[in-house]
Amino acid sequence: MRLILLGPPGAGKGTQAQRLISKYGIIQLSTGDMLRAAVAAGSAVGLRAKAIMDRGKLVPDEVVVAIVADRIDQPDARRGIVLDGFPRTVAQAEALDRLLSERSLKLDAVIELRVDEGILLKRIEKRVAEMTARGEKLRSDDNPEVLKGRLAAYRAQTAPLANYYAAKGLLRAVDGMAPIDEVTAAIDAILAKAMAGKAARRGGKPAKAARAKGRGGKRRAAKAAKRAKAPARRGRATGSKRGKAARAGRLKNKAGMRKSGSRRRLTKAR
Ligand code: AMP
């Protein structure tokens, strides 16, 4: 199973992705988490991404596409992936299409968590205030100002992906403002339908292909048998010695049958 969770920051993609990985045994591929890990590790990618992330802007496409390509090639990604926070631009979506088709893989669904941005912003402001009051550590981009920038980036660069995937017939929307369990149930229902459709397509195709192969196989076998029976006739066409001998034999038989009247008797018996 391969799916994308689409939605603005704070829509609950991470929470739902966690539930999906425990339910389906797939991996979560969160470019935000991977970039934060790169920043913490002080890697070249991290150094390049940090300042951009702190401003709430998008890291260049080629950077995130490269980390996604690496991750989907790892063995644990074979069972499935839930992409969270990627793709974020149409160019990233196109790159993902290429990555998947080069590996003969397909997306099963793109689930958009639809939320009211005004309410979302208030929720996040409240959460940030509560965490600050408790003295908990915040993400460096988890403050209302940066969040506004992240929402603007989502609207301008990521929201168009809904149309991109709708045109491919992959987009399904759920109400991201509903209670978490209800969102999970809605996602489960979408995935159950998508996977049933996939199983039906898989079940149908090989059966059909096998039938066609069977028919072709029989035809091929009949032709081969005919060919095996026909060396004498082919010989006649080419005028080979074997063909001549066979023809002579047949003529001898015919003459013999005429003599004994067996040919007439045979005709009568038919
Ligand atoms: P997230 O945790 O998904 O909200 O991502 C945090 C930050 O990481 C974003 O505000 C971006 O700066 C960066 N980021 C994460 N994913 C991507 C992506 N697919 N493309 C570009 N930048 C990304």
What backbone torsions phi and psi does residue 16 show, to the nearest 5 degrees?
Answer: -70, -35
CA of residue 159 to ligand 1 center, whole Å:
14
* Structure confidence at residue 214 (pLDDT): 45
* Structure confidence at residue 169 (pLDDT): 95
What is the residue with the minimal CA distance to atom 15 of ligand 1? 32
Residue among 59, 138, 141 to mutate when testing ligand 1 (max atoms within 8 A of CB): 59
* Structure confidence at residue 254 (pLDDT): 46
Residues 6+ apart with CB under 8 A from 24: 1, 79, 80, 191
CB-CB contact of 25 with 104 (8 Å): no
Type of residue numbered 95: A
CA of residue 224 to ligand 1 center, whole Å:
62
Structure tokens given for 103: 């590996």
The residue ranking higher by pLDDT, 128 or 24, is: 24
Q: What is the mean pLDDT of residues 46-64?
A: 94
> How far is residue 200's CA from residue 196's CA, in Å, rounded to a whole number?
6
CA of residue 131 to ligand 1 center, whole Å:
22
> How far is residue 32's CA from residue 56's CA, in Å, rounded to a whole number?
11
Q: Encode pLDDT of 140-154 as tens digits.
A: 777 778 888 899 999
Catalytic residue numbers read 13, 88, 127, 139, 150
What backbone torsions phi and psi does residue 184 show, to the nearest 5 degrees?
Answer: -60, -45
CB-CB contact of 80 with 26 (8 Å): yes
Burial annotation 122-149 (CB, 10 A radius, 16+ → b, else e): eebeeebeeeeeeeeeeeebbeeebbee
* Structure confidence at residue 240 (pLDDT): 45
Q: Looking at the predicted structure, is the pLDDT value of residue 228 above 70?
A: no
Residues 6+ apart with CB under 8 A from 2: 80, 81, 83, 100, 105, 106, 107, 108
* Structure confidence at residue 212 (pLDDT): 44
* Structure confidence at residue 198 (pLDDT): 85
Going by pLDDT thresholds of 50, 70 and 90, the confidence category of residue 261 is very low
User: For 170, left (φ over 0), alpha (ψ -120 to 50), or beta?
Assistant: alpha
CB-CB contact of 142 with 128 (8 Å): yes
* Structure confidence at residue 248 (pLDDT): 53
Ligand 1: which residues within 6 Å by Cβ?
9, 31-32, 35, 52-53, 56-59, 64, 85-86, 88, 92, 141, 150
CB-CB contact of 36 with 90 (8 Å): no
CB-CB contact of 157 with 61 (8 Å): no
Q: Encode pLDDT of 38-52 as tens digits.
A: 999 999 999 999 999
* Structure confidence at residue 266 (pLDDT): 39
The residue ranking higher by pLDDT, 235 or 169, is: 169
Residue among 15, 16, 33, 35 to mutate when testing ligand 1 (max atoms within 8 A of CB): 35
CA of residue 55 to ligand 1 center, whole Å:
11
* Structure confidence at residue 127 (pLDDT): 82
CB-CB contact of 10 with 120 (8 Å): yes
Structure tokens given for 257: 């049958």
The residue ranking higher by pLDDT, 240 or 42, is: 42
3-class DSSP string for 148-201: HHHHHHHHHHHCHHHHHHHHCCCEEEEECCCCHHHHHHHHHHHHHHHHHHHHHH
The residue ranking higher by pLDDT, 229 or 233, is: 229
Q: Encode pLDDT of 167-225 as tens digits.
A: 999 999 999 999 999 999 999 999 999 989 888 888 765 444 344 444 444 555 455 45
* Structure confidence at residue 16 (pLDDT): 96
The CA-based angle 71-77-82, given to 5 degrees, is 90
Q: Encode pLDDT of 73-123 as tens digits.
A: 999 999 999 999 999 999 999 999 999 999 999 999 999 999 998 888 888
